[in-house]
Amino acid sequence: MAKYRKKSIVADAEQFFPHKLEYLIGVFMVPHPDTKAPVYFIQTLEGDMRLEVGDWVITGVKGEKYICKDDIFKMTYEKVED
pTM, whole model, 2 decimals? 0.79
Rounded to whole angstroms, the Cα distance separating 44 from 62 reads 12
Domain boundaries of the chain, sorted by first residue:
12-76
Q: What is the pLDDT of residues 35-55, one digit of tens each?
A: 989 999 999 999 999 999 999
Long-range CB contact pairs, 32-41, < 8 A, 24+: 40/16
pLDDT of the residue at 44: 92
In the predicted model, residues of the chain with pLDDT beneath 70 are 21-23, 82
CB 10 within 8 A of CB 79: no
pLDDT of the residue at 65: 92
